[in-house]
Structure 1
Amino acid sequence: MKLFSGKLTAVQLQQSVWVSVFVVIMLSLLPMDTFGQAFAYAIIYTAFYAAIIYGNILWLFPRLYQKGHIVLYILAVIVFLFVVGITRGFVTMTVYNTFFAPKPQVMTFKVLSTFIVGGILIFLLSFIFRIAIAYFDLKRQSEEIIVQKTQAELNLLKSQVQPHFLFNTLNNIYYEAYLEAPRTAALIERLSNIMRYFVDESPKQLVSIGTEVQFIENYIELEKIRIRYDISLNFTKVCDAALSIPPMLLMAFVENVFKHGIDKSSADNRISLSLIQESDRLLFTVENTLPDVPLNPNSTGSGIGNLRKRLILLYQDDFELSAQNNGDIYRAHLNIPLK
């Protein structure tokens, strides 16, 4: 059943081929010889055919020809076929004289040369055999890749179903909360939008500026929950929202503000964000008041440092990035090209 279903391994396929060769040889000898004689000769011939083919494709060809020893390969093949032919002739004659001959027969040069010439034909067929094995292995690998690709696509679909199930659940909670607590419902909606951004937009190479701005605004509104007092926040946007930039590129600045630039016990937190398009450049500037407690000099370095590494990968040296303290104001500035 495996033979017809295409589920054979390379070894099983070769075994099937040699069984078929044995059967064909035996059936071709039966009209001339007895069953026992045909059976014995079929075993001998099949064994020597296999010796010639595997001796070439597994030993001579890879060890000599593929390493550039072409002349040595030709000489080795001649010696190999001569030895195998003589051995096959004497084994065949010995079996015949021992079990089947009415009287012993003498090995002649003509009979011996027949075995040697027959070995040359099998040697040539070994290359076809080698190509067939290589094709079979390649076909199996291709089928495995297709199966793996299909499984990967299935896993991707599963990974998409799970977040979307969560989105739908959040939407249901949103409609329930909207009647009792509209502010809570609005926060749930923003959280849902943020999660949708991570699933649908962040894996992309580019996203629209409008999508990125909406993500930042949703993040800011959720961060405000943790702050006791209202903050003074101004977000200026003068740019084409349809233009594209890499996702999460501006987020490092905003995240840095809420991690290190906000005093939760102060009523005087001020944040200013400016996103300006100048010709084919995009300028993003963030300014915020610093808390009264002195900052660790290294506390804001990792996010900006990682951003700089990413910018180098994206733009090489075609960008400007700066971050510095000006008294009680922290200012970060980014200048990137718009493509």
Structure 2
Amino acid sequence: MKLFSGKLTAIQLQQAVWVSVFVVIMLSLLPMDPFGQAFAYAIIYTAFYAAIIYGNILWLFPKLYQKGRFVWYVLAVIVFLFAVGIIRGFITLTVYNTFFAPKPEAMTFKILSGFIVGGILIFLLSFIFRIAIAYFDLKRQSEEIIVQKTQAELNLLKSQVQPHFLFNTLNNIYYEAYLEAPRTAGLIEQLSNIMRYFVDESPKQVVSIGTEILFIENYIELEKIRIRYEIHLTFSNNCDATLSIPPMLLMTFVENVFKHGIDKSSVDNKIDISLVQENGRLIFTTENTIPDVPLNPNSTGFGIENLRKRLVLLYKDDFDLSTKNKGDIYVARLNIPLL
């Protein structure tokens, strides 16, 4: 049905309900009263029914009952229903005496008690009305979540099409280059592996240390292309490659080495990288010679600071991140627990 398909808002649904209530009341009065009198009474009754229901679900119930003030809630409901019943009775009688009565009638206790009892029944219905509104809102939110999930899945599929197309293209170029220039083909393969890491591995919560090491090695080989002279680089690894760590933690240090610690015009660039597993912890260290002239004097070390913020989120205070100069050698060290 359209009412429960999410095509109507909660306000539109309530408007439809009250129009229906008005029509039902009027049709029930027409056999006994003239059209004008039935129309006037239907408006009065519908308005007071709405006042009772919304007075409870929007004011009394949330302000008193939901805050644990149960006695005050009961007292407020009694006063509220008596007040609404009396006001409704006098308005109804006034309209009747003014427009429809052959002769004026006086208000009696019996008439007032009838209006008050009728208000009690409508008050009880207000809880059903409240549940219906909550159900409608929950159903609409569920449908919105499903739509958002479907759209997110569609966007994900779209985002995967382009990288996979690029990977396939790189593979074709690799096979072509392998026949003519094997070294170029190797570089293409390393670039493809790096891009695949960004797409497939970096979104994960954790990756294997072996995967992270392979990524770093591919990155180093590609960085060497930009450097004129040979780099004296050692990369020692003494840890279980099957253990897991969050992705891209180690990369910041390696990137900083090539960004700030390499002088392309020098023949004496030295880099030492070590990865050690010790007492359930992983210790990653990079050491590089400091160029005579800083390559980027305006650098403020955003990479290290961003890494520190990420480490705080991941490990709270259970990590050690340090950087320091030892003469003409720059040392960066990271100590984190293994998962």
Q: TM-score band, normalised by the shorter chain?
A: 0.7 to 0.9
- Compute the displacement of 1:172 (Å): 2.9
Deviation at 1:196, TM superposition (A): 1.3
For 1:154 and 1:280, the matched residues in 2 are separated by 41
Q: Does 2:88 match 1:88?
A: yes
Contact 2:260 2:294 in 1 (8 A): no
CA contact (8 A) 1:260 1:300 kept: no
- Alpha-carbon distance between aligned partners in 2 of 1:176 and 1:151, rounded to the nearest angstrom: 38
Partner SS, residue 142 of structure 1: helix
User: How far apart are the structure 1 equivalents of 2:306 and 2:105?
Assistant: 88
Q: Which sits farther off after the overlay, 82-91 or 250-259? A: 82-91
Measured at CA, do residues 241 and 300 of structure 1 come closer, stay the same or move farther in structure 2, by a change above 3 Å?
A: farther
1:81 Cα offset (Å): 2.8
Residue number in structure 2 paired with 1:252: 252
1:143-154 → structure 2 map (5 Å cutoff): 143-154=143-154
Query: How far 1:181 sits from its partner (Å)?
Result: 3.1
Once structures 1 and 2 are overlaid, which stretch shifts more, 264-273 or 323-332?
A: 323-332
- Specify whether residues 55 and 259 from structure 1 end up closer, same or farther in structure 2 by C-alpha distance, changes over 3 A only: closer
Does 2:59 match 1:28?
no
Q: What's the counterpart of residue 53 of structure 1?
A: 53
Q: TM-score, normalised by structure 1?
A: 0.84
Match of 2:195 in 1: 195
Q: Deviations over 1:110-151 (max 9, x none)?
A: 233222221222222223222322332233223223322332
Q: Which moved more, 1:76-85 or 1:5-14?
A: 76-85
Distance 1:61 1:184, change over 3 A: same
- How far, CA to CA, are the matches of 1:84 and 1:291 in structure 2? 86
For 2:169, give the aligned amino acid: T
Structure 1 residues 201, 32: CA separation in 2 closer, same or farther (over 3 Å shift)? same
| Letter of the structure 2 residue corresponding to residue 85 of structure 1 | G
Q: What is the CA distance between 1:220 and its match in structure 2?
A: 0.7
Pair 237,138 (structure 1): closer, same or farther in 2 beyond 3 Å: same
Percent identity reads: 85
RMSD value, Cα: 3.2
AA aligned to 2:194 is I
Deviation readout 1:210-265 (Å, 9 max, x if unpaired): 11111111111111111112223232223322121222222222222212222212
**Are 2:289 and 1:289 equivalent residues in the alignment?**
yes
Q: Secondary structure at the match of 2:152?
A: helix
| SS of alignment partner, residue 226 of structure 1 | coil
Give runs of aligned pairs for residues 220-235 of structure 1, distance below 5 A.
220-235=220-235
Structure 1 residue 73, shift from structure 2 partner: 4.7
Answer whether contact 1:190 1:218 (CA < 8 A) is retained. yes
- 1:24 and 1:327 map into 2 onto residues whose CA distance is 91
Residue equivalent to 2:138: 138
Moved more, 300-309 or 204-213: 300-309
CA distance in 2, matches of 1:217, 1:145: 42
Evaluate the alpha carbon distance shift between residue 246 and residue 34 of structure 1 in structure 2; reply closer, same or farther with a 3 A threshold: same
Equivalents in 2 of 1:98, 1:301: separation in Å? 84
- Aligned partner letter, 2:128: I
Q: What does residue range 54-69 of structure 1 map to in structure 2 within 5 Å?
A: 54-63=54-63, 65=65
CA–CA distance in 1 between the matches of 2:268 and 2:179? 33
- Unaligned 5+ residue runs, structure 1? none
Of the structure 1 ranges 93-102 and 119-128, higher mean CA displacement relative to structure 2 is found in 93-102
Q: CA deviation at 1:317?
A: 4.9
Instruction: Give the AA of the match of 1:194.
Output: I
**TM-score, normalization: structure 2?**
0.84
Partner of residue 179, structure 1: 179
- CA offset at residue 279 of structure 1? 5.1
CA gap of 1:22–1:302, structure 2 versus 1, over 3 A, is: closer
- Residues 284 and 335 of structure 1 are in contact (CA less than 8 Å); yes or no, is this contact kept in structure 2? yes
- Between 188-197 and 27-36, report the one with greater CA deviation: 27-36
The residue type equivalent to 1:25 in the other structure is I
- 8 Å contact kept, 2:6–2:140: no
1:305, distance to aligned residue in structure 2 (A): 4.7
- 1:103/1:282 CA distance change after superposition, 3 Å: closer
Q: Distance in 1 between matches of 2:38 and 2:321?
A: 86
Aligned runs of 1:292-303 on 2, under 5 Å? 292-293=292-293, 302-303=302-303
Which has the higher mean CA deviation after the structures are superposed, 222-231 or 295-304? Answer: 295-304
Structure 2 vs 1, CA of residues 58 and 180 (structure 1 numbering), >3 Å: closer, same or farther? Answer: same
